[in-house]
Amino acid sequence: MKKFDHKDILELPDRYRAKLINSLSGFKSANLVGTKLDNHTNLSIVNSAVHLGATPPLMGLIFRPDTVERHTLNNLRKTQYCTLNHVNTNFYEQAHQTSARFPKLTSEFEACELTEEYLSSVDVPFVKESNIKMLLKYVREEKIHENGTHFVILSIEEVHLNEDLIHEDGYVDIEKAQTACISALDGYHSTNRLARLSYAKPDKLPEKI
């Protein structure tokens, strides 16, 4: 077994440390965030979407202090709205390409050959190719002063998906929807469901449902 302590980690070369530490949380969600400001659309991949609660329905997103995602965060602060679109396994390369540092007025939709779609009364682009998509509204943000990142809390305003992805109990079959997941910064994966397990109770083992 290899052991890194805190000091070892800080002494690693920057890029090596970034890849190592980005691997440690486990598999990450893969989403595209769509925004629009002054008639220019923007699309960026994020691996930091996290469930914050169902009542009210909230989503969290973490934005780095000085990356291409700034366009997205700035647009979101100004317009209050974005879309969140699952990355599917059939377009993960195009989704990854949205992380290139395109000039501010270049739309990543066009540059990466993904299709804008307008499904809401709010003028913000969804990704037509994505099988599960949401309209999110900015609620507020917390600055993580330790490293300058921004933890943004958003309200889920709309959900769009095919009805046949939803099980009777509300579970959405995101594997059937071909949702991808991410390891570290650049690994893309499809999944194989092992099982759904019953609600855990102390007196019996969980069952496959």
Q: Measured from the CB atom, is 37 or 52 closer to a copy of itself?
A: 52
Min. distance of Cβ 87 from a copy of itself in angstroms?
A: 8
For residue 164, give the amino acid letter: D
Q: Quick one: residue 164, left, alpha or beta (phi over 0 = left, psi -120 to 50 = alpha)?
A: alpha
Q: Measured from the CB atom, is 38 or 201 closer to a copy of itself?
A: 201
The Cα–Cα gap between 83 and 99 comes to: 17
Structure-block tokens of residue 94:
């195009």
Min. distance of Cβ 172 from a copy of itself in angstroms?
A: 3
- What residues have CB less than 8 Å from 14, skipping those under 6 apart? none
Q: Measured from the CB atom, is 78 or 197 closer to a copy of itself?
A: 197
Q: Measured from the CB atom, is 3 or 39 closer to a copy of itself?
A: 3
Q: Measured from the CB atom, is 75 or 178 closer to a copy of itself?
A: 178
Q: Measured from the CB atom, is 38 or 93 closer to a copy of itself?
A: 93
The Cα–Cα gap between 149 and 44 comes to: 16
Q: Locate tokens 């910064």: which residue? A: 185
Q: Taking the alpha carbons of 151, 68, 155, 127 in that order, is the dihedral positive or negative? A: negative
Structure-block tokens of residue 140:
């507020």
Min. distance of Cβ 35 from a copy of itself in angstroms?
A: 18
Min. distance of Cβ 101 from a copy of itself in angstroms?
A: 6
Min. distance of Cβ 174 from a copy of itself in angstroms?
A: 5
Residue in 48, 89, 86 with CA at minimum distance from that of residue 69: 48
Min. distance of Cβ 39 from a copy of itself in angstroms?
A: 21
For residue 12, give the amino acid letter: L
The Cα–Cα gap between 152 and 172 comes to: 24
